[in-house]
A and B are shown apart, each in its own frame.
Chain A
Amino acid sequence: MAAFLEISDDSKGHELSLFCVPKHYEDDLDSVIIPNGLIKDRTERLARDIVRDMGGHHIVALCVLKGGYKFFADLMDFIKTLNQHSDKSVPLTVDFIRLKSYCNDQSTNCVKVIGGDELSALAGKNVLIVEDIVETGKTMETLLKLLHECHPKMVKVVSLLVKRTPRSSGYRPDYTGFEVPDKFLVGYALDYNEYFRDLSHICILSDRAREKYKV
C-alpha cells in the first residue's frame, strides 16, 4: 500500500496562537491539525511519486470541485515544476467535475457527476483523479465505475486526506497525503457549509462553530 502520513486519533494538533489564522475564525477552531506548510511539503512528494508512475504518457488531471481545487492547484504546480526541470516531460491537461453528495456534515448516499468535458476524451489517456478527502469511499467508487466506461489507459486517484472511519467501504486511493482521525476538519479548501475555504491550515472545527454555521 502507498505510504501516507498518519495523524493519530489522539493527536491534539497545535494551539491556534502558534500559527497565523484569520481573525474571523479564531473562536471557531479548536486547533491546527495540519499546517499549510506541511501540506505543501507532502504534496511536493506526491507529485514526484505520481510523475514517476504516470509520466510516460499524456496525463489528464481531473479535479473534483470544490474541495479538491486548492490541493489540485498546488499539486499541479509541483508536477509542472518537475516537468520543467527534467529531461523528459509529459503533456498535462486538466478538467473539472463536481460531485454533489454533501449536506452539513453527514455524507448522504446520493452522488451526481456534474460538469466536465466529454468524458469520451479520456479514452487512451492516463487519468489522475484529484480529491481532497476520502471518507466512506463510495463517491470515489461510483466515479471510478463511470470513468472506466470511457476506456482510459490508466486511472489513478490521489487524495490529500483519507479518514479513518468505520463507515469506510475499505477503498484506498493510489496516493494518499495524510490519514486523519474521524473528526470534523476544515480549512485548505475543506469547507463547512461553504465557510472556512479561506483558511490555509487544516483545523479541527469546534462544536460551537458547528452550530453557528449550520444550514
Chain B
Amino acid sequence: MSTDMAADQRKKPGVVIKDGWTGYSLELFNYPEHYKGDLECVYIPHGVIMNRIECLARDILEDIGHHDMMVLCVLKGGYKFCSDLVESIKAQSRSTNSRLTTRVEFIRFKSYLNDQSTEDLHIIGPDDLSMLKGKNVLIVEAIVDTGKTMRALLQHVETFQPKMVKVAGLLVKRVPHGAAELPDYVGFVIPNRFVVGYALDYNEYFRDLNHICVISETGKQKYKV
C-alpha cells in the first residue's frame, strides 16, 4: 500500500476500542424514535466520529495534499464517511491557501448477507477508471473486516496505474483472520461486533442513524432478510 517512509512511521492504529467496551447507554443520547428497541447501545457517538475525521483529514492533507486527489468512495456504507472526510479535507485545505482539487468517484461491493461476510465479491461502478492514471488515489472505506474487499479493490485499482494509492478506513475490526495490513488512515479499531449507523446498514436499515451503535437481538430479528 504505502511506500512512503515518513507516513509509515506515523501510521497510527487509530483510536483503539477495547474488547470489553459496552458502549454508552441509549438514554444519554438522541436517536430516531423508529429505532427504539432495535439498538443495544451507542458504540461511537456521531460527534466523536466527526472529531476523529477532522484529525484524519489533517493527516491525509499533510501526506498527499500537495497533488490533486482522486477519492474513490466505497458505497453504500462509505458514503457518510467519504462525504464528511472530503468536506473536512476541503475546509482545512481552504484555510491553508493550497490549490488542492479533489474529485470523487464511487464504487460498489455486494458482500454481506444479514450480518455475515459472504464469499461473493462483485465490483460495480465505473468500468473505466482510467482517470486514476498518474494520480494520488485515496480509497475511502467505512469498515475493514476480513480485508478481502480492500485487497480486491487495491488489485483492481493498481491495474489503472495510479501514482500512489492510500486507504482510509473509518473502522477496522479485530477479527481472527483479519486484514494483515491496516489501512493507511484508521479512525477506530473495534472489537468483532456487528455495528450499524453512520451509513453502515443491516439489510439496508440503520443508515439513517447518525451514531454508530450495536444492534439488539430484537433488531436483528425484526429486519432479517
- Complex CA gap A44/B29 in Å reads 7
Whether A5 and B52, one on each chain, are in contact in the complex, defined by CB atoms closer than 8 angstroms, is: no
Contact of A41 among B27, B46, B54 (CB under 8 A): B46
> Closest chain A residue to B46 by CB distance?
A41
- As a 0/1 sequence over residues 58 to 80 of chain A, the CB contacts with chain B under 8 angstroms (1 = contact) are 00000000000000000000000
Minimum CB–CB distance for A79 against chain B, Å? 13
Interface 9-mer from A14-22, A137-145, A154-162: A14-22
Are the CB atoms of B29 and A42 closer together than 8 Å?
yes
Q: Is A45 an interface residue (CB 8 A)?
A: yes
Q: A8: shortest Cβ distance to chain B, in Å?
A: 12
Given contacts A18-B14, A37-B49, 10 further A-B contacts (CB under 8 A): A3-B25, A5-B28, A14-B15, A35-B47, A35-B52, A36-B51, A37-B48, A42-B28, A42-B45, A45-B29
Cα–Cα, bound, A3→B30 (Å): 13
B12 at the interface (CB under 8 A from A): yes
CA of A149 to CA of B52, assembled, Å: 47
A201: CB under 8 A from chain B? yes
Number of interface residues of B (CB under 8 A): 21
Residues from chain A with a CB closer than 8 A to the CB of B12 are 17-18
Q: Please measure, in the bound complex, the distance between the C-alpha atom of A19 and the C-alpha atom of B52, giving whole angstroms.
A: 6
A125 within 8 A of B: no
Query: 0/1 per residue, B39-50, Cβ < 8 Å to A?
Result: 000000111111
List residues of chain A with CB within 8 A of the CB of B30. Answer: 41, 44-45, 48
Chain B interface (Cβ < 8 Å from any Cβ of A): 12, 14-15, 24-25, 27-30, 45-52, 54-55, 58, 211
Q: Using Cβ atoms and an 8 Å threshold, which residues of chain A touch B211? A: 41
A41 touches B45 (CB 8 A): yes
8 contacts between A and B (CB under 8 A): A3-B25, A18-B55, A37-B48, A41-B45, A41-B211, A45-B29, A45-B30, A48-B30
- Would B25 and A38 count as touching, CB distance under 8 A? no
Residues of chain B contacted by A44 (CB below 8 angstroms): 29-30
Distance of A200 from chain B, by nearest CB (Å): 8
- The smallest C-beta distance from B159 to any residue of chain A, in angstroms, reads 34
Question: Which residue on B lies nearest to A36, using beta carbons?
Answer: B51
CB–CB A38/B14 < 8 A: no
Residue of A19, A38, A45 with most chain B CB atoms under a 10 A cut-off: A38
Looking at the assembled complex, report how far the CB atom of A115 sits from the nearest CB atom of chain B, in whole angstroms. 31
Q: Which chain A residues in 40-98 approach chain B with CB under 8 Å?
A: 40-42, 44-45, 48
Judge whether B29 and A41 touch: CB under 8 Å.
Answer: yes
| A36-B54 Cα distance, complex, nearest whole Å | 11
Flag if A39 contacts B24 (CB, 8 Å): no
Residue of A nearest to B27 (CB): A3
Q: Which of A3, A17, A35, A45 contacts B48 (CB 8 A)?
A: A35
A201 to chain B, nearest CB (A): 7
Nearest chain A residue, comparing its CB with the CB of B88:
A20
Cα-based distance from A6 to B49 in the complex (angstroms): 19
B48 touches A38 (CB 8 A): yes
CB atoms of A20 and B55 under 8 A apart? yes
Complex formed: what's the CA distance from A37 to B27 in Å?
17
Partner of A37, one of B25, B28, B46, B58: B46
Chain B min CB distance to A90 (Å) = 19
The A1-39 residues at the B interface (CB cut-off 8 A) are 3-5, 14, 17-20, 35-39
Residues in B with CB closer than 8 Å to A36 are 47, 51
Residue of A nearest to B59 (CB): A17
Q: How far is the CA of A38 from the CA of B12 in the complex (A)?
A: 22
Q: Closest B residue to A40 by CB, please name it.
A: B47
CA separation between A45 and B28, bound complex, in Å?
6
Residues of chain A within 8 A (CB-CB) of B29 are: 41-42, 44-45
| Whole-angstrom distance between the Cβ of B189 and the nearest chain A Cβ | 11
**What's the minimum C-beta distance from B9 to chain A, rounded to whole angstroms?**
13
Bound state CA distance, A36 and B53, in angstroms? 13
List of B residues within 8 angstroms of A38 by Cβ? 45, 47-48, 51
Q: Which residues on the B side are within 8 Å of A45 (C-beta)?
A: 28-30
